[in-house]
Amino acid sequence: MDTRISLLESAERAVRERGYNGFSYADLAREIGIRKASIHYHFPTKANLGSAMIERYSARFFGSLADIAETGQSAADQLRAYIQVYRDALATGTQVCLCVSLSASRDSLSSEMLDRLNRFHEDSVAWLTQLFDRAAQDKSIANLAPADREANAALALVEGAQLLARARKDVAPFDQALATLTARLASPPLH
Amino acid sequence: MDTRISLLESAERAVRERGYNGFSYADLAREIGIRKASIHYHFPTKANLGSAMIERYSARFFGSLADIAETGQSAADQLRAYIQVYRDALATGTQVCLCVSLSASRDSLSSEMLDRLNRFHEDSVAWLTQLFDRAAQDKSIANLAPADREANAALALVEGAQLLARARKDVAPFDQALATLTARLASPPLH
DNA sequence: GTCTATAGACTGATAGAC
DNA sequence: GTCTATCAGTCTATAGAC
């Protein structure tokens, strides 16, 4: 297989489970079956690896959001899909969104990683603001505040809910924390 | 001064700024001006220090909440005070609530620290549930969902908002994320 | 691309003098 | 209670053979 990809996958899981300071080149080497010195061929420094990791994660994440937007569903259905992305990312309560994890260990990040992290949050708020603008038109979400406020609140809510679920190692706290928001969404799809 | 207290204060700030894996005995020793070996006299292991740190933090935190409850203010005013506790904890965007930080590095904690962390979240939800029960009676908060849902959502919101503020090193994202909740609170006090 | 070997710094922790 | 000295282990990173 592609060693570079394996390294990125392994590192991402580690960060999402244990934080940026919670994994080492030795861990990665053990997991994918090469020597730790070999990792430096692919990523000279840990900061290089970290940057590539956020870049890859962001591309995947915002690709999913683009797919959701392209469906042309109601704002309520799109928000449901957005919440599901965060719920899926929890796995069984063992992992959080990469950027939730990195936010907590901010002071250990390189400036390039920080830039990418900030862009992730900016792009998230922008995507959500568009969603809530749409909601103001299609009326599929109840009790609407201004779109930018709703966007910031929704982002904080899903990230905070992931944190609670992570602490318990269980998805239930995530669902409980999101219940007030999902209750405002019109006409849920059949399951 | 009391070395033990100095150590706890120094360690707490470090964890809230850089995460549990982001500080060492060497850091503490440098900061309070003793040798790192001396720290082991007060706290034999890092897990001992960690446990004492959460215990001390929780006592202080829930002491503040008890003070808020005793004022007999409306639910809205009490929630405003609760939010202010989290906002103050941010300092200038450099620190998060100890338990926000610890949740992110869950896998590095001793079982005793995990127990204390879980109790912190349980007690928080319990306190907030009582607050929203009161709100159902005094009608000081608009658009009320069931109290336990509101409690879980409010906790996730303040913790997630801290995370966003921490990433930016700025309190503004915190205020933005909380705006939808504070907008539901009746009759704000004069400033 | 991957390896062995190694550097230099740091980790939490211990023994024993004062 | 705090110190010096030291331990065994870890960390990221580099040099150079294959």
pLDDT in tens, A116-161: 999 999 999 999 999 999 999 999 999 999 999 999 999 999 999 9
Q: How confident is the model at residue A187, as a pLDDT?
A: 79
CA-nearest residue of chain B to A160?
Answer: B160
Q: How confident is the model at residue A115, as a pLDDT?
A: 97
Write out the two tokens for A4.
């570079």
Average of pLDDT values for B75-91? 97
Amino acid at A27: D
Instruction: Tell me the per-residue pLDDT of A147-158, one tens digit each, with 9 for 90 and over.
Output: 999 999 999 999
Interatomic distance B137 CA / C10 C1' (Å): 57
Q: How confident is the model at residue B144, as a pLDDT?
A: 97
For CA atoms B27, B33, B37, B41, the dihedral sign is: negative
Contact (Cβ atoms closer than 8 angstroms) between residue A14 and residue A39: no
B187: pLDDT confidence band, cut at 50, 70 and 90? confident
Question: Which residue in B98, B122, B163 has the most chain A C-beta atoms within 10 A of its own C-beta, making it the best mutation to test that interface?
Answer: B163
Q: Give the residue among A109, A124, A127 at the shortest CA–CA distance from A53.
A: A109
Q: What is the mean pLDDT of chain B?
A: 96
pLDDT of A190 > 90? The answer is: no
Q: How confident is the model at residue A191, as a pLDDT?
A: 61
Q: How confident is the model at residue B1, as a pLDDT?
A: 72
B189: pLDDT confidence band, cut at 50, 70 and 90? low
CA-nearest residue of chain A to B181?
Answer: A153
Q: What interhelical angle do A75-89 and A147-168 show, nearest 10?
A: 30
CB-based contact A180 B149, cutoff 8 Å: yes
pLDDT of B76 > 80? The answer is: yes
Question: Which positions on strand C lie below 7 Å from a protein C-beta?
Answer: 1-6, 10-16
Please give the share of chain A, as a percent, with pLDDT higher than 70. Answer: 98
Q: How confident is the model at residue A59, as a pLDDT?
A: 98
- What are the φ and ψ backbone dihedral angles of A24, each rounded to 5 degrees? -135, 165
Average of pLDDT values for A21-33? 95
Residue among A22, A152, A177 whose CB faces B153 most closely? A177
- Chain B segment 54-113 residues within 8 A of A by beta carbon are 96, 99-108
Q: How far apart are alpha carbons B186 and B76 in whole angstroms?
A: 6
State the DSSP string of A30-93: HHHTS-HHHHHHH-SSHHHHHHHHHHHHHHHHHHHHHHHHHTT--HHHHHHHHHHHHHHHTTTT
Q: How confident is the model at residue A120, as a pLDDT?
A: 98
Q: What is the mean pLDDT of chain A?
A: 96
Q: Where are the alpha helices (DSSP H) in chain B?
A: 3-18, 25-32, 36-42, 46-70, 75-89, 98-104, 111-138, 147-168, 172-182
Q: Which of residues 8-47 of A touch strand D (CB under 7 A)?
A: 23-27, 36-37, 40, 44-47
Residue among A19, A118, A143 whose CB faces B168 most closely? A118
Any strand D atom closer than 7 Å to B34 CB = yes
Please give the share of chain B, as a percent, with pLDDT higher than 70. Answer: 98
Question: Residues of A with CB below 8 A from B148's CB?
Answer: 176
B111: pLDDT confidence band, cut at 50, 70 and 90? very high
pLDDT of B190 > 80? The answer is: no
